[in-house]
């Protein structure tokens, strides 16, 4: 029997305004996110990421389409959202209260105060040493950490996170990335992660969707999307001669020191032989896989070209 997906989005659309001011923010988005995955939701500013998330959480009503969480229709069975923790458009708190006190207030509101869990979450997100300080004195990154703790208060099965590492330094990003990955690997939680930090997404996500101008333009496992996108970097002399020789067989670009060749690791022996036969000295050949950021930019540019 097929397991019910954590999230199923069917033909989801949202239009703002009317007539000449009509804007299609999200257009017929369909996605299915399996239980236990970290799922990346990527797109440039204004692509429709946050609007989609707000519809998933029933914060705004879709123009058409629907969202199901663990098989239950969000708008008709609103109590399913009790299984969801979320950060949307940054975390907001009472500035005059401490971080710990803010979490206690949220837990009391949900009639689920467990002081030991509050302390444990503050420790997990790296705020234990600042838990007694007023949120007014928190940096943006600290507020994001507190927001993640707040999202986890009810021990939800699904986390929906909109830019969770915003304001964090590189060390903080690394810590939160490991924490998010552990939530899926060690605790079986599903994480829907919207972010513009593609290097972070590549390291933490199992699967991604790329949204541009309100439409899903690519979707799949990170490993599958990047498969076959390998390139070779070649250090050789004379460089212009090497570029001419290899340009007969592959697409070649140069930064003045290295050549980048649209070729696979399996092409390397043939490539080296061709250069040596033509009197070119070869110093290094390095295989490189295209990064998720490079793939994302190529997809967005390709879509822009189609619309022009």
pLDDT digits (tens, 9 = 90+) for 231-261: 888 999 999 999 999 999 888 988 888 998 8
| Residue, of 35 and 202, whose pLDDT is higher | 35
The predicted structure's pLDDT at residue 290: 67
Contact between 259 and 247 under an 8 Å Cβ cutoff? The reply is no
Both tokens of 276, joined, read 């040596």
Give the residue carrying structure tokens 């007694």.
Answer: 132
Both tokens of 182, joined, read 């552990």
pTM of the model: 0.79
pLDDT digits (tens, 9 = 90+) for 165-222: 877 888 888 888 888 899 999 999 999 998 877 777 778 899 999 888 899 988 888 8
Confidence of residue 1 (pLDDT cuts 50, 70, 90): very low
The predicted structure's pLDDT at residue 308: 57
Both tokens of 262, joined, read 């649209």
Q: What domains are defined for the chain?
A: 7-225 (3.40.50.300), 230-289 (3.30.70.2470)
Phi and psi at 268, nearest 5°, equal -55, -45
Strand partners, 68: 8, 73
pLDDT digits (tens, 9 = 90+) for 266-308: 889 999 999 999 999 999 998 876 667 777 777 777 766 666 5
């Amino acid at each position: 029997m097929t397991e019910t997906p954590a999230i199923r989005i069917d033909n989801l659309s949202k239009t703002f305004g009317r007539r000449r001011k009509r804007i299609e923010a999200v257009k017929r988005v369909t996605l299915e996110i399996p239980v236990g995955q970290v799922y990346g939701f990527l797109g440039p500013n204004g692509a429709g990421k946050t609007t989609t998330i707000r519809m998933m959480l029933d914060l705004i009503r879709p123009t058409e389409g629907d969202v199901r969480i663990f098989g239950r229709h969000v708008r008709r069975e609103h109590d399913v959202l009790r299984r969801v923790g979320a950060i949307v458009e940054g975390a907001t708190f009472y500035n005059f209260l401490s971080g710990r006190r803010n979490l206690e207030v949220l837990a009391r509101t949900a009639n689920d105060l467990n002081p030991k869990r509050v302390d444990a979450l503050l420790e997990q997100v790296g705020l234990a040493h600042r838990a007694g300080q007023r949120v007014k004195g928190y940096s943006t990154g600290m507020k994001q950490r507190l927001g993640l703790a707040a999202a986890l208060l009810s021990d939800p099965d699904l986390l929906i996170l909109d830019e969770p590492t915003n304001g964090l330094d590189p060390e903080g990003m690394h810590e939160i990335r490991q924490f998010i990955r552990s939530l899926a690997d060690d605790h079986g939680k599903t994480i829907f992660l919207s972010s513009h930090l593609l290097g972070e997404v590549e390291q933490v996500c199992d699967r991604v969707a790329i949204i541009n101008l309100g439409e899903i333009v690519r979707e799949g496992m990170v490993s599958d999307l990047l498969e076959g996108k390998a390139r070779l970097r070649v250090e050789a002399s004379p460089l212009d001669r090497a570029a001419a020789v290899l340009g007969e067989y592959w697409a070649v670009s140069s930064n003045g020191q290295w050549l980048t060749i649209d070729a696979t690791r399996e092409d390397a022996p043939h490539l080296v032989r061709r250069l040596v036969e033509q009197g070119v000295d070869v110093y290094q050949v390095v295989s490189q896989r295209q990064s998720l950021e490079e793939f994302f930019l190529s997809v967005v540019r390709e879509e822009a070209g189609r619309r022009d």
